[in-house]
Amino acid sequence: MYYDQDGIVIYHGDCREILPHVRGDAVVTDPPYSSGGMYRSDRAAPTNAKYQISHETRRTYAAFAGDNRDQRPFEKWVDSWSALALRCVGDGGGIGVFIDWRNVACIVDAIQMGGWVYRGLTPWHKGADLRPNKGWFRRNVEFIVWGSAGPLVTGPTAEGECWDGMFVARVNDGDKQHQTGKPVALMRQMLTVRPEWDTYIDPFMGSGTTLVAAKLEGRKAIGIEIEERYCEIAAKRLAQGVLPFGKAGAV
C-alpha cells in the first residue's frame, strides 16, 4: 500500500496482482489506449512524445507503460483485467472505461468476455475548437464504455438523475499531470451517475484524478498504478487537499 488516508487508498503494482484483494462498488478507469499511431513503430514510440500535436504546445510528462499493443493482444489484455475487476464488485456494480474511436470496439468486446453486461457508450466532448483535422472531422470526442455486474436498475424506479447522453468537459492543461489525464470536472460527473456506487476502483490510476474527484465528492476510492512516479504524483495531489466546492451536476 502506497497511500491510505480519508478513504482514499493507492497501491503500487500491476492491477492484475492487486485486484483480487480489493473490493468496491464500481470500476472507473482510463487504461492505455494502444492506439496512438497508425503503424507498429508509431505505437512503440515513447508516450511522452507520440501524443504531442505540436512542438509549440509540448509539455513534459513522465512516460507510461502498456501503450504499444496491437488490437488482438490489447483485447485479450483488457479481458484479463476486466474479468478480475468484475469480482471486485457486487451485483449491480459497474464499470466505465475510457477509450478513443480506434479501439472502442475492442473494449466493448473485451469487457463482455470478462463477464460484464455491456450497457452502451457515453461520448466525452473535449471542446469545440480542439483537435482540428482539415477535410474531415475533429478528433475531439472520446468514449466511456459502460458495463454492469448483472442487472442494473434504470428508468422510473431507479435512484439518481436522468443524465444527458454526453459529457462535456474541456481538457485543462493546467489541471493535467499525466500525458492523457482527464479533467477533474469530468471525473466528478462520472462518480455521481449512480448514487449507490460509493467506493470506486481505478486499476490505471495515473496521476490520481479519479481519486481527487472521489475526495471532492465525499466518496471512497482505490487507485492502482504500475508506475511509481505517478503514485508519488497522485499522493502529493491528495496530500495537498482539495477545495470543497459544490457537487458536480448533470451536463
246 within some domain: no
247 within some domain: no
DSSP, collapsed to helix, strand or coil, labels residue 167 as strand
Element (H, E) at 64: none
244 within some domain: no
Spell out the residues 6+ positions from residue 73 whose beta carbon is closer than 8 angstroms to its own: none
User: Which CATH number is 223's domain given?
Assistant: 3.40.50.150
Strand locations in the chain, DSSP E? 3-5, 8-12, 26-29, 94-99, 117-125, 141-148, 167-168, 199-202, 220-225
C-alpha cell at 20: 483480487
DSSP, collapsed to helix, strand or coil, labels residue 161 as coil
SS3 sequence of 12-54: ECCHHHHHHHCCCCEEEECCCCCCCCCCHHHHCCCHHHHCCCC
Count of domains observed in the chain? 1
Asked whether the beta carbons of 95 and 26 are under 8 A apart, the reply is: yes
222 within some domain: yes
Per-residue pLDDT tens digits for 198-242: 999 999 999 999 999 999 999 999 999 999 999 999 999 999 865
249 within some domain: no
Calculate the alpha carbon distances from 12 to 47, 181, 223, 230, 235 in Å.
20, 18, 9, 9, 11
Size (the chain), residues: 251
Residue type, 153: V
114 within some domain: yes
What confidence tier does 34 reach under pLDDT thresholds 50, 70, 90? confident
> Does position 248 have pLDDT exceeding 80, yes or no?
no
248 within some domain: no
What confidence tier does 246 reach under pLDDT thresholds 50, 70, 90? very low
Calpha distance 211→183 (Å, rounded): 12
What domain range is 80 assigned to?
3-239
> Does position 17 have pLDDT exceeding 70, yes or no?
yes
71 within some domain: yes
The pLDDT assigned to 81 comes to: 98
What confidence tier does 171 reach under pLDDT thresholds 50, 70, 90? confident
DSSP, collapsed to helix, strand or coil, labels residue 117 as strand
Calpha distance 130→182 (Å, rounded): 15
Between 33 and 78, whose confidence is greater? 78
Taking all residues of the chain, what is their mean pLDDT, rounded to a whole number? 86
Asked whether the beta carbons of 192 and 248 are under 8 A apart, the reply is: yes
Q: Which of 83, 77, 84, 117 is nearest to 99 (CA)?
A: 77
> Does position 49 have pLDDT exceeding 60, yes or no?
no
> Does position 69 have pLDDT exceeding 70, yes or no?
yes
C-alpha cell at 17: 496482482
The pLDDT assigned to 180 comes to: 65
Per-residue pLDDT tens digits for 96-138: 999 999 999 999 999 999 999 999 999 999 988 887 888 999 8
Read off the pTM: 0.84
